[in-house]
């Protein structure tokens, strides 16, 4: 596995108590359906029960030469795969 110390630092920062308590709010059962969903016919009624969205992306990285092969993506580049989740209000 390649050196992911910066990924761990960022993960540690965003999952720390102060950051998490200030910026993260988990959805509640009685939260209303977002206006974004209600106003658009292509989403309503299909996503009325959705609480958010998730998507992945690759972020370029610079591992050591020994670890570079572990970070190689399908297009031949070197990247870190990241997955993010958020509510429709971001």
> Minimal CA–CA distance to 50: which of 84, 88, 89, 23?
88
Q: Does 81 have pLDDT greater than 80? A: yes
pLDDT in tens, 16-69: 888 888 888 787 778 888 887 888 888 888 888 787 788 888 888 888 888 888
Distance CA 36, CA 25 (A): 19
Question: Strands, DSSP E only, in the chain?
Answer: 53-60, 79-86
Question: What is the pTM (predicted TM-score) of this model?
Answer: 0.49
Distance CA 74, CA 57 (A): 13
Tell me what pLDDT residue 51 has: 78
Distance CA 55, CA 76 (A): 21
Q: Does 1 have pLDDT greater than 70? A: no
């Amino acid at each position: 596995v390649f050196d992911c110390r910066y990924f761990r630092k960022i993960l540690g920062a965003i999952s720390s108590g102060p950051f998490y308590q200030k910026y993260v709010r988990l959805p509640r059962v009685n939260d209303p359906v977002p206006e974004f969903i209600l106003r658009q016919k292509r989403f309503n009624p299909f996503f009325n029960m959705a609480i958010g969205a998730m998507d992945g992306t690759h972020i370029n990285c610079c591992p050591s030469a020994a670890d570079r092969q572990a970070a190689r993506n399908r297009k031949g580049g070197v990247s870190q795969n990241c997955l993010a989740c958020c509510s429709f209000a971001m």
